[in-house]
């Protein structure tokens, strides 16, 4: 074809390109990427029109050239990607293939997954687009070699989902389709092997976000949490990020829910629906803050059982304002987190 399109070509996150020596650079504080994030690519781009995404079909950026979760995604030949990962199999804990909402994406996801599985002994996750899937596709993905699936519901309520992904932007996505797909993915891949992404700071209350994370956990899934970042060229490029205090509370809520330490039904909220009690003792809460794990990136695990998809600085710039820690927080980080959480008031 003469065009850099999938399945022969894939985009990868800047962090992955740096890890595989396709791009120069070093990671702030020595963060180490453990998951190679790959993205299908087409000159026709993505048919979705999600208001917060730089890859959106309604984006002001040129199709296929936008930014995605804050960073650029350069394109490389699949054969070169496989060869580069093969040289680093001892360092890469997982590979994740992300679909676009494009009619070619289902077959190409299968093709790329099989190619990676044939060449590499590394677990593979898929971030799927339910809108373009048909009955049986999830089974084929599993047969192609994937062991985990992510469904990016993103918004905490059906109204927000429709406003930013559905009829509000003339987009094709439907709330019920995404939840049905998550349920089917858990049936096909098993409990704990499918989960959802949610973005904090899209207009939802803390009560609503806690409730939707609990819904995923009750189904057998887990939540991968993002803090809204205004993507350049997206419809929401001028919106503000959520306060760090809000994000820290939701990170704590996610950890307690996903680890079955507490339940959203045991949380209490104030008149603005902000969390005022997590249903655990002050000492238990302090112990969790002290460990710091609750504030690390949540994502798919690798062969060692630890989170592999740590996405260094994907939704916040490197520096003291880190939102998802891509490494275990140190003592100074814990002091900052404790202040941001205002642990004493719990």
Which pLDDT does position 160 carry in this prediction? 98
Q: What is the reported pLDDT for 63?
A: 45
Asked if 341 and 249 touch (Cβ cutoff 8 Å), the reply is yes
What is the rounded CA–CA span in Å between residue 266 and residue 328? 28
**Which tokens go with 46?**
């993505």
283 burial type by CB count under 10 A (0-12 exposed, 13-18 middle, 19+ buried) = exposed
CA–CA gap between residue 298 and residue 123 (Å, rounded): 17
What is the full DSSP assignment across 130-193?
GGG--TTHHHHHHHHTEEEEEEEEE-SSHHHHHHHHSGGGT----HHHHHHHHHHHHHHH-TTS
pLDDT of residue 234: 87
Q: How confident is the model over 107-161, as pLDDT tens digits?
A: 999 999 999 999 999 999 999 999 999 999 999 999 999 999 999 999 999 999 9
pLDDT of residue 281: 96
Rg, the chain, Cα only: 19
Residues in the chain where the model's pLDDT stays below 50: 1, 61-65
> Rounded distance, CA 12 to CA 298, Å?
19
pLDDT of amino acid 65: 47
Check residue 346 and give its pLDDT.
81
Q: pTM for this one?
A: 0.95
What integer pLDDT is reported at residue 1 of this predicted model? 45
Phi, psi of 77, deg, nearest 5? -65, 140
């Amino acid at each position: 074809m003469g065009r850099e399109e999938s399945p022969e070509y894939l985009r990868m996150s800047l962090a992955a390109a740096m890890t595989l020596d396709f791009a120069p650079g070093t990671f702030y504080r020595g963060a180490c990427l453990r998951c190679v994030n790959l993205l299908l690519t087409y000159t026709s781009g993505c048919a979705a029109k999600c208001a917060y995404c730089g890859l959106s079909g309604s984006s002001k950026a040129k199709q296929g050239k936008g930014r995605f979760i804050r960073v650029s995604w350069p394109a490389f030949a699949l054969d070169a990607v496989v060869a580069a990962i093969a040289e680093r199999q001892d360092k890469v804990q997982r590979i994740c293939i992300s679909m676009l909402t494009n009619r070619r994406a289902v077959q190409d996801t299968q093709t790329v997954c099989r190619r990676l599985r044939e060449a590499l002994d590394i677990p593979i996750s898929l971030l799927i687009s339910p809108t373009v899937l048909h009955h049986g596709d999830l089974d084929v993905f599993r047969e192609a070699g994937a062991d985990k699936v992510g469904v990016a519901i993103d918004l905490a309520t059906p109204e927000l989902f429709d406003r930013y992904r559905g009829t509000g932007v003339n987009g094709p996505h439907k709330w019920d389709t995404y939840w049905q797909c998550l349920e089917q993915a858990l049936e096909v891949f098993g409990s704990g092997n499918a989960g959802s992404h949610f973005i904090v700071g899209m207009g939802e209350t803390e009560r609503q976000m806690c409730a939707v994370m609990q819904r995923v956990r009750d189904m057998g899934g887990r939540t991968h949490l993002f803090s809204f970042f205004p993507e350049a060229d997206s419809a929401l490029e001028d919106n503000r990020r959520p306060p760090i205090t809000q994000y820290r509370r939701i990170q704590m809520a996610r950890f307690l829910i996903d680890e079955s330490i507490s339940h959203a039904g045991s949380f209490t909220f104030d008149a603005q629906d902000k969390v005022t009690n997590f249903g655990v003792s002050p000492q238990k809460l302090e112990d969790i803050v002290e460990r710091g794990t609750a504030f690390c990136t949540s994502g798919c695990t690798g062969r060692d059982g630890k989170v592999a998809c740590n996405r260094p600085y994907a939704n916040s710039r490197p520096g003291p304002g880190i939102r998802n820690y891509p490494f275990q927080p140190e003592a100074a980080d814990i002091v900052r987190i404790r202040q941001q959480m205002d642990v004493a008031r719990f």
